[in-house]
Chains A and B, each alone.
Chain A
């Protein structure tokens, strides 16, 4: 056993050697934030999720789709069924064909997915100077650093260093790989008005939208961690019992 734990320690030590290369290019590491969903018992902050959704709806959704989410999913972040119905009804969805074989427009239903701002990628690129605003459904899991990175990116806009040559229609962001990003600084202080009176600084709005996007990417996280705690407790107790059983059975054997 002694040898095995030594071996294991050596394996872990050696493996950490490989870690520093996680950094993507020359971009700065996003600062680690103290999210409510961190840790084995972490949960999402419902008021923050709702504020984050508001920022997405009023700001981000002008360019970024979230095609994996349906309006009904918003009940998970604390909206009522009526509220999701009202939100869905604001959009128009093409449906059909009807019995006459015609396509028709109808108001959205909670089961409809979030409406995308552009009909396809080509249209999105044409409207954004060739750049494609990525779908945000999974973005918090599709980038190193997750929610930390999203928050950092949104607050990471600054003037480029003197010797830095920016491309046409590009902006400088210290957390973006290569520092050149096609998205202009998307949010500014006081851009939205929160119903709960929370201050609307760029930092606060970035935190809220990062929280919202983390939920959107991993909506079952709370159920997963809650089940995980139960499973770990059960297994730890069961391992203890099995150890006792094994010792009892082996007690009459010289080994």
Chain B
């Protein structure tokens, strides 16, 4: 982006007048009009635009909810119910927003998977990737604080459990927790500051998204072949090719999203959050929202770290769990340097292709483990396998970290080389011939 000397001619004199003084239309045309884009995108490349759509949807629906919401512990729960009952189309706004959080995470998780599978984080796109991880962290904070606002039982106890994690840090831990709460328990000051931050953070996210897209437009998009475009035969203009493809994808995505809004608006939530917050009654089973479950499972899976068969403990289970949980995302920051393979796309990496699929399975198993109570065993269709979910979480968690820290550096060295097409155009031709 930024200004360039090369300016377009416009037929419309008003647009021409503006563009001479501030070349916004030249910029739009360069970045979204004729912007040369690899011609071989598959539908995984729709999810960045979908995530952008969700960010805007969340900010807009949230704005109108905020106009009717009262962030006080005695009013919050009933003000949400007033939105549901007495505000015109308030139920629609709230279900758009509540399910929108889940949809935002669906799009972003697929977007992150796409980035990993096709090696989009590799040189020269490391900074683009890192900005994306920052966006994901900001989204987690925003979603967590948003879930507290209805001030139901799960809001209250989820906030209590998650903020208490910081008490695991020695010496400063308790001080941090009191500082976060604004008191000595989750209470009215906590609710108020979470509302303020929940309103602010989406705009911070929008700012980082701007940087993310800026970085993207410097390097250009990666593509399923993982080969940089070389000639004009490899690319097509962004408009109308990818605008039309993104719009089709958006419509299909909206069908999926609408199913939840209109026909299953509460399946992704928890019934306990329709019970007003009560500091005197702890729910029997506190679970975070589904999009946090894999990380929650890692948190619970870590035991005391010490010398086995002795009572010597170096790091207690709580602190170790918290470090592992944060580490599970922090490891993404150094992903571009952990992966030593010169090849980007998993399409031309036979072993990486397998390890990525196992990673997805491990991540989903971690999610299932996080959903179940800490002492539950794996059971399906009424058959109890007597395998504790805790052990599933430990195995899956070890694979999760092993994939990034052990497998990726080794794969770069030992993975067999596959002959690659010399260009995107050749990759497209090869695929076409194969289909015939």
B259 at the interface (CB under 8 A from A): yes
Q: Cα distance A68–B245 when bound, in Å?
A: 46
Contacting residues of chain A (17-40) with chain B, CB-CB under 8 angstroms: 17-18, 20-21, 24-25, 40
A162 at the interface (CB under 8 A from B): no
Partner of B274 from A142, A219, A227 at Cβ < 8 Å = A142
- A-contact 0/1 string along B259-279, CB 8 Å cutoff: 101110110000110110000
* B262 to A, closest residue via Cβ: A228
A104 at the interface (CB under 8 A from B): no
Contacting residues of chain A (131-171) with chain B, CB-CB under 8 angstroms: 134, 137-138, 141-144
**B135-143, B327-335, B376-384, B408-416: which lies at the interface:** B376-384
**A217 and B428 contacting across the interface, CB-CB below 8 Å:** no
A123 at the interface (CB under 8 A from B): no
Partner of B361 from A14, A227, A228, A255 at Cβ < 8 Å = A14
A59 at the interface (CB under 8 A from B): no
- When distances are taken between beta carbons in the complex, the residues of chain B under 8 Å from A1 are 43
**A17 and B380 contacting across the interface, CB-CB below 8 Å:** yes
Most A Cβ at <10 Å: residue of B241, B251, B381: B251
* B365 to A, closest residue via Cβ: A14
- When distances are taken between beta carbons in the complex, the residues of chain A under 8 Å from B92 are 224, 227
**B262 and A253 contacting across the interface, CB-CB below 8 Å:** no
- When distances are taken between beta carbons in the complex, the residues of chain B under 8 Å from A144 are 271
**A18 and B360 contacting across the interface, CB-CB below 8 Å:** no
Partner of B263 from A17, A20, A228, A235 at Cβ < 8 Å = A228
- When distances are taken between beta carbons in the complex, the residues of chain A under 8 Å from B170 are none
User: With A14-B364, A224-B262, A228-B261 in contact, is A235–B254 under 8 Å at CB?
Assistant: yes
**B248 and A254 contacting across the interface, CB-CB below 8 Å:** no
User: With A10-B361, A14-B368, A142-B275 in contact, is A242–B244 under 8 Å at CB?
Assistant: yes
- A-contact 0/1 string along B273-304, CB 8 Å cutoff: 01100000000110000000000000000000
**B274 and A16 contacting across the interface, CB-CB below 8 Å:** no
**A85-93, A186-194, A197-205, A243-251: which lies at the interface:** A243-251
- A-contact 0/1 string along B411-436, CB 8 Å cutoff: 00000000000000100110010000
Q: Cα distance A164–B91 when bound, in Å?
A: 45
Q: In the complex, how many angstroms separate the beta carbon of B385 from the nearest chain A beta carbon?
A: 10
Contacting residues of chain B (340-399) with chain A, CB-CB under 8 angstroms: 360-361, 364-365, 367-368, 371-373, 376, 378-382
- B-contact 0/1 string along A206-224, CB 8 Å cutoff: 0000000000010110011
* A138 to B, closest residue via Cβ: B274
Contacting residues of chain B (22-81) with chain A, CB-CB under 8 angstroms: 39-40, 43-44, 78, 81
**B84 and A255 contacting across the interface, CB-CB below 8 Å:** no
User: With A15-B368, A68-B81, A253-B241 in contact, is A224–B91 under 8 Å at CB?
Assistant: yes
**A217 and B251 contacting across the interface, CB-CB below 8 Å:** no
* B293 to A, closest residue via Cβ: A18
* A237 to B, closest residue via Cβ: B251
A232 at the interface (CB under 8 A from B): yes
Residues of chain B having any CB pair with chain A under 8 Å: 39-40, 43-44, 78, 81, 84-85, 91-92, 95, 236, 240-241, 244-245, 247-248, 251-252, 254-255, 258-259, 261-263, 265-266, 271-272, 274-275, 284-285, 360-361, 364-365, 367-368, 371-373, 376, 378-382, 425, 428-429, 432
A-B contact pairs, 15 of them (CB 8 A): A14-B361, A21-B379, A138-B275, A142-B272, A177-B284, A227-B262, A231-B262, A232-B255, A232-B258, A235-B251, A236-B255, A238-B251, A239-B248, A242-B247, A246-B247
Residues of chain A having any CB pair with chain B under 8 Å: 1, 4, 7, 10-11, 14-18, 20-21, 24-25, 40, 68, 73, 134, 137-138, 141-144, 177, 217, 219-220, 223-225, 227-229, 231-232, 235-236, 238-239, 242-243, 245-246, 249-250, 253-255
Q: What 3 pairs between A and B have smallest CB-CB spacing? A: A228-B262, A18-B368, A142-B274
Given pairs A20-B379, A254-B39, 20 additional interface contacts (CB within 8 A): A14-B364, A20-B380, A20-B381, A20-B382, A21-B372, A25-B284, A134-B275, A138-B274, A138-B275, A142-B275, A143-B271, A177-B284, A224-B265, A228-B263, A232-B258, A238-B251, A239-B248, A246-B245, A250-B245, A255-B428
